[in-house]
């Protein structure tokens, strides 16, 4: 695998851990609010080889707890499990950020003990997924990934980036129903910075007060609902 970026240090991307974050190239979705357009459309001019990345990790032993693998969408790469195994072999925890389109990769990685934490995006209620991500979606696969994580025994979170014009309060409650019983659900405020579709730069999210209201409602569906 060739990586499209490396953040050498982060305290916020792996809950409770000191980590680095590596970015994979390419994605099977086209979420208009995506913050990593150069990875999604594969125009990034950053290219880091696996060898360079492992050398970096070897030099950070004892200084970092874990590695966050994000993207793009990491699970579109057939060699992702091998990368996770290499990271685990070096003694680091592995957190995977995924859109949940490849449940078999999640299932096998959990079975093989090569992933410790999965953060899965929930883009919208299942019924409107395709319109949200601007690509055809196998929602059965999304459903399966949700179920795999909820019964896995590993740490996980579901999370949704919220743009007011794309997700209504009813949509958010419907997501709550679809992940009922989940451990953690994170409501993420949309921040219009560098994004895939420039027309979305003037889109807004809900007010802090409205977020608190959503949090209250969604806490009736999941163990813990966080605002980020």
Site residues for ligand SF4 per CB under 6 A:
27, 29-31, 34, 36, 40, 71-73, 99
| Closer residue to ligand SF4 in complex, CB, 5/71 | 71
**Do the strands 184-189 and 155-162 form a parallel or antiparallel pair, or are they unpaired?**
parallel
Residues 105, 76, 48, 196: is their CA dihedral positive or negative? negative
Do residues 114 and 88 make contact, with C-beta atoms less than 8 angstroms apart?
A: yes
CA 112-157-94 angle, to 5 degrees, is 40
| Closer residue to ligand SF4 in complex, CB, 60/164 | 164
Whole-angstrom distance, CA of residue 119 vs CA of residue 100: 9
Whole-angstrom distance, CA of residue 132 vs CA of residue 152: 27
| Closer residue to ligand SF4 in complex, CB, 40/163 | 40
**Do the strands 93-98 and 117-121 form a parallel or antiparallel pair, or are they unpaired?**
parallel
Q: How far is the CB of 114 from ligand SF4 (least distance, A)?
A: 22
Residue 71 is classified by DSSP as S
Whole-angstrom distance, CA of residue 52 vs CA of residue 90: 14
Q: How far is the CB of 31 from ligand SF4 (least distance, A)?
A: 3
| Closer residue to ligand SF4 in complex, CB, 101/214 | 101
Q: How far is the CB of 34 from ligand SF4 (least distance, A)?
A: 3
**Radius of gyration for the alpha carbons in the chain, expressed in angstroms and rounded:** 17
Residue 223 is classified by DSSP as S
Q: How far is the CB of 40 from ligand SF4 (least distance, A)?
A: 5
| Closer residue to ligand SF4 in complex, CB, 97/221 | 97
| Closer residue to ligand SF4 in complex, CB, 29/129 | 29
Q: How far is the CB of 46 from ligand SF4 (least distance, A)?
A: 15
Residues 209, 210, 213, 214: is their CA dihedral positive or negative? negative
Do residues 137 and 27 make contact, with C-beta atoms less than 8 angstroms apart?
A: no
| Closer residue to ligand SF4 in complex, CB, 40/84 | 40
Q: How far is the CB of 124 from ligand SF4 (least distance, A)?
A: 12
Q: How far is the CB of 186 from ligand SF4 (least distance, A)?
A: 14
């Amino acid at each position: 695998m060739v990586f499209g970026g490396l953040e050498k240090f982060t305290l916020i991307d792996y809950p409770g851990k000191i980590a680095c974050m590596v970015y994979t190239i390419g994605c099977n979705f086209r979420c208009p609010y995506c913050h990593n357009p150069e990875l999604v459309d594969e125009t990034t001019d950053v290219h880091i080889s696996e060898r360079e990345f492992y050398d970096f990790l070897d030099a950070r032993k004892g200084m970092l707890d874990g590695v966050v693998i994000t993207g793009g969408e990491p699970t579109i790469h057939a060699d992702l499990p091998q990368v996770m195994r290499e990271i685990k072999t070096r003694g680091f925890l592995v957190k995977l950020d995924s859109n949940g389109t490849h449940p078999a990769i999640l299932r096998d990685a959990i079975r093989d003990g090569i992933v410790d934490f999965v953060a899965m995006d929930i883009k919208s209620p299942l019924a409107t997924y395709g319109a949200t991500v601007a690509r055809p979606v196998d929602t059965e696969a999304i459903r399966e990934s949700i179920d795999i994580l909820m019964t896995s025994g590993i740490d996980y979170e579901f999370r949704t980036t919220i743009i007011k014009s794309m997700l209504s309060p009813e949509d958010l409650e419907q997501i709550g129903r679809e992940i009922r019983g989940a451990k953690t659900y994170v409501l993420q405020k949309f921040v219009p910075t560098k994004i895939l579709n420039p027309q979305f730069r003037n889109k807004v999210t809900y007010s802090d007060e409205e977020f608190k209201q959503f949090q209250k409602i969604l806490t009736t569906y999941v163990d813990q609902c966080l605002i980020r």
